[in-house]
Amino acid sequence: MPMSLRSFHIVFILASLGVLGFLAYGSGHRVQGGLDGQNLALLVCAVAGLAAGVLYLFWFIRKKKGLATPY
């Protein structure tokens, strides 16, 4: 049975959150090691992206929960 578009969208959001989490961890580790500058900006952007992505995921699941699929 093929994956529905809704399921694929949720998997894609989760994969994006995983990449952002890895990015935040790596840049946070480098900032703690004393390498500021670009790593600090990357950390801030990754954390902001994680927050927005988690909010979007919850919104998407809650909004689409009531829709029935024909399959």
Examine residue 69 and state whether it is found in any structural domain, yes or no. Answer: no
The pLDDT tens digits for 12-58 are 999 999 999 999 999 999 998 887 789 999 999 999 999 999 999 99
Model pTM score: 0.79
69 neighbors 6 (Cβ within 8 angstroms): yes
Structural domain span for residue 54: 15-63
| CA-to-CA separations, 22 to 8, 26, 30, in angstroms, rounded | 21, 6, 12
Residue 45 within any structural domain of the chain: yes
Q: What is the largest CA-CA distance in the chain?
A: 55
| pLDDT tens digits for range 56-69 | 999 998 886 666 55
Q: How many angstroms separate the CA atoms of 31 and 45, rounded?
A: 14
How many distinct structural domains can be found in the chain? Answer: 1
* Domain annotation covers residue 70: no
In a domain, 57, yes or no: yes
Cα–Cα distance measured from residue 36 to residue 56, given in angstroms and rounded to the nearest whole number: 30
